[in-house]
Structure 1
Amino acid sequence: MAHLHYNHSIVVKGSSSTSTSSDQQVNLDSEKLQPNRAYENETHQFGYLVSDVDWQVRRMVETEEEMRKVAYVQAEAFHEPVFLFDDLFLDFFKAEVLSGLLYRLRNSPPDRYACLVAEPRSDDQESNKELAGVVDVTVLREDSVLEHLPGAEEYLYVSGIAVLNKFRRQKVATTLLKACDILSAIWGFEYLALRAYEDDYGARKLYSNAGYRVVSGDSPWTTTWIGRRRRVLMVKRSNIQ
């Protein structure tokens, strides 16, 4: 699946003495983490965006505990092990993921960015459920994407989709993508877009099954000269009214 890209690095210090090494690198300002009114209204009106036989998807609750759960899911999914230093690098990566999440929350209106989380379906409404997967959705207006979306001025961009290893191949990612479709309808956007590595056939099949189609790819010179894996742009028109 498409990897996370964090362009904004935040240096924040301190935490409680009982925190892990990765937690100590990020101080969550509780004043900044209170759910805003728009978020509360959306949660009250729509509850779970998707609730099927096995999984249910909702918007992330902006609390320290849940944000750390999200960071763990994405770090486990995208961290590339380094021989002899795996635990250390994973801790740093979790801190980087958490910093990126904080940045997006603090700099995006609630109707232009959301982190969606999937958890096991249960009648028990306990607040300490384990998160199975997460995905970021952001309103964007990149010209290179809009040229493939007739009549659109903005679109919903799907990124950072991640599933815990023990929950993979259990339709968690499929359920997260369904929730993105529903959120696009709630927010009033006709199109969704995402990027995937051209040679990641598993991810591309997942997205194709969800209705996305390839419309373009990275320029050859960006992959040849920079040495980066080539990505393809995939888009879909929301069929939820």
Structure 2
Amino acid sequence: MALLRAPPPFRQPLSPSSRSRRCPTCHAVAATARPCPGPSWTGVHGGGGGAKKRLLASRRWPGGVGVPSLLATTDEGVAAAGVAREEDDDDEYLAREAGWGVRQMGRVGEEMRRVAQVQAKAFHVPVALFNDFFFDFFKAEVLSALIYRVRNSPPDRYACLVAEEAEPTTQLSQAPYEKIVGVVDCTVQDEDDILKHLQGADEYLYVSGIAVLPSFRRRKVGTALLKACEALGFQWRHRFMVLRAYEDDDGARGLYAKAGYRVVSRDPDWVTWVGRRRRVLMIKELPLHDNQI
């Protein structure tokens, strides 16, 4: 599966984890009652794109709250997030494809750590020196952002979906969370710049942060994740699905086009003048009837 990479929508101060790749096709990861158009990532990965600057959500959240501290990645922070959403757990698969099943992430500590591990592996760029340190730091930031979203998002505004073997063939002793091989975020948003392309809609479901473990790429895990996002869109009664991809990433755009997404706009030419790659905005309209919206 081809790499999906998208340039960050803003600049942030340099930190150790900023060595990670730019996240793919996305730009909003925080989900609140009125989700901010901040960062996140979107993309089926064979490597990754804009990591920290997108995955972590903007330095400012609604109400002026800053990006959650790395202290949130402690056992206490993970446990609190799990308790906050545990009652919403639902292990029913939203979609099945090529032997993979996709469901909503369980709100338990070890599963959230696994999700952070998968996303960190997809977006981290190895460095020559102290790579383990940079990776661990980045993974902690990823987990911190995930905990924040879980604890502060209404259950019908944000969901993290995970892909696993629908009929596991691995050892029975393997813990359930260890079977997760792919991840994607779905966030309800209402950005005016996007809504102008969506006739009659006041919100849409934004797909971002698609990540697949290296050893499971090119095995239709990304396709399964996209189908599950669409199933969630039906479930939440959203008419439009939205994502972003790099304009020159033919593999990613081909995957999305095959899934029914079409290009509706592109970044302006000037983004290339500041060293960023142009992105395309892609949408898919779900065949909902009026009484379902």
Is the shorter-chain TM-score for this pair beyond 0.5, marking a shared fold?
yes
C-alpha distance in structure 2 between counterparts of 1:27 and 1:99, whole Å: 12
Amino acid at match of 1:206: L
What is the 5 A alignment of 1:36-55? Answer: 36=85, 39-40=88-89, 43=90, 47-55=92-100
How many residues were matched structurally?
227
Q: 1:189 aligns with which of 231, 238, 256?
A: 238
Say whether residues 1:100 and 2:145 are aligned partners.
yes
Report the alpha carbon displacement of residue 28 of structure 1 after superposing the two structures with TM.
2.3
Superposed CA deviations along residues 106-143 of structure 1, whole A, max 9, x for unmatched, are: 22111000000000121689634421100000000011
Pair 1:142 & 2:191 matched: yes
Distance in 2 between residues matched to 1:197 and 1:53, nearest whole Å: 26
Pairing 1:176–2:221 present: no
SS at match of 1:232: strand
Does structure 2 retain, via aligned residues, the 8 Å contact 1:53–1:121? no
TM-score by length of 2: 0.72
Which of structures 1 and 2 has the larger relative contact order (alpha carbons within 8 angstroms, sep 6+)?
2
- In structure 2, the partner of 1:18 is none
Corresponding residue for 1:33? 82
Amino acid across the alignment from 1:227: G
Is the aligned partner of 1:232 residue 2:290?
Answer: no
Distance 2:81 2:183 in 1: 21
| Compared CA separation, residues 53 and 205, structure 1 to 2 (3 A) | closer
Aligned-pair identity (%): 52
C-alpha contact 2:184 2:211 (8 A) present in aligned 1:
yes
Structure 1 unpaired stretches of 5+: 15-22
For the structure 1 residues 52 and 110, does the alpha-carbon distance in structure 2 shift closer, same or farther, using more than 3 Å as the test?
Answer: same
Cα drift, residue 37 of structure 1? 7.6
Contact 1:13/1:27, CA 8 A, preserved across alignment = no
Structure 2 gap segments, 5+ residues each: 6-22, 24-40, 42-53, 60-66
How much has 1:211 moved relative to structure 2?
0.6
Q: Is the 8 A contact 1:12 1:27 kept in 2?
A: no
Query: Within 5 A, what are the aligned runs for 1:1-241?
Result: 1-2=4-5, 3=23, 4=41, 5=54, 6=56, 7-8=58-59, 9-13=67-71, 28-34=77-83, 36=85, 39-40=88-89, 43=90, 47-122=92-167, 127-224=176-273, 226-239=274-287
Change (3 A) 1:144 1:209: same
TM-score calculated relative to the size of structure 1: 0.86
Given that residues 183 and 209 in structure 2 are in contact (C-alpha distance below 8 angstroms), is that contact kept between their aligned partners in structure 1?
yes
User: In the TM superposition, what is the alpha-carbon distance from 1:35 to its structure 2 partner?
Assistant: 5.5
For the aligned residue pairs, the C-alpha RMSD in angstroms reads: 2.2
